[in-house]
Amino acid sequence: MKKNNAHINKDNTVVAIRNLYKSFGDNHVLRGIDLDIYQGENLVVLGRSGTGKSVLIKIIAGLLKPDSGTVTVLGQEVDQLATKELDALRLKIGFSFQHSALYDSMTVGENLAFPLQRHNRSLSADAVKKEVARVLEAVGLSKALHQLPSELSGGQRKRIGIARTLIMQPAIMLYDEPTAGLDPITSMDINNLINEVQESYHTSSVIITHDLTCAKSTGDRIAVLLDGQFLQTGSFEEAVENSTNEQVKSFYDYNFID
């Protein structure tokens, strides 16, 4: 449980969401939500599967367009950006996908080098190697440089996926179900890594999860999403553990093991 929020700058809002709606046919996924994410903050969006959590971060990253409302990221309204401007903004956003999204035919080192080589062609081969070594050390997998993704465990692939986002030194990290499919010990390792990334890289993060242990371990603030709206927002204790909302209490009582 995190208690020291000195790293959060509430005078600097890096993501501002206002009256956001998104539907897919008759499925009304997001129903007029509002949310601010502050510089240096780990903000957890917590909820059951299918409640719109992943849709929300895809809208933040410009991968989906909202039906109405605004999403402003680092001062730019995302769905109003031209393709070139959106591509430039995405370089400042690290998206850690649920299934790591590594290239199976590439070694770990090649997977990490790829975004640098694609987006910063002026970097020398030596500079790329140094950056790859830096992020591998940051996620504790320096010895995995020449391995293929198929040779790694699920937890190791998650770490490499996070390393590949860190190599571009993003201002914002988006984590989509970072502990999904992992055993409890590996999940705690990933939770600790998320906190280490926040402290070492001074990132602002949105962490999408239905894992209450992940939420409690990583979140400076929790926003509970249900039926397309935020039911509660606050610390884990305020938003979840001591909530008087019957739906939140039911979710907590069914899922959480302290």
Q: In order of start, what are the domains of the chain with their CATH numbers?
A: 13-92+173-184+202-258 (3.40.50.300), 98-169 (no CATH)
Q: Is 143 exposed, middle or buried (0-12, 13-18, 19+ CB in 10 A)?
A: exposed
Q: How far apart are CA 240 and CA 232, in angstroms?
A: 8
Question: Quick one: average pLDDT of 103-121?
Answer: 90
Q: pLDDT tens-digit profile of 175-213?
A: 999 999 899 999 999 999 999 999 999 999 999 999 999
State residue 3's pLDDT score: 47
Q: Which two tokens stand for residue 188?
A: 């705690």
Say what the pLDDT of residue 1 is: 45
Position 9 pLDDT exceeds 80: yes
Look at residue 101 in the predicted model and tell me its pLDDT.
Answer: 78
Measure the CA–CA gap between 109 and 157, rounded to whole angstroms. Answer: 13
pLDDT at 256: 60
Instruction: Report, as an integer, the average pLDDT of 121-133.
Output: 91
Predicted local distance difference test score (pLDDT) of residue 188: 95
Query: In the chain, pLDDT over 70 holds for what percent of residues?
Result: 95
pLDDT for 248: 86
**pLDDT of amino acid 246:** 86
208: β partners:
45, 176
Q: Which two tokens stand for residue 207?
A: 């962490």
Q: For residues 65 and 36, what is the distance between their CA atoms, to the nearest angstrom?
A: 18
Tell me the pairing of strands 172-176 and 93-96. Answer: parallel
pLDDT band, residue 4 (cuts 50/70/90): low
Question: Above 60 in pLDDT, residue 258?
Answer: no
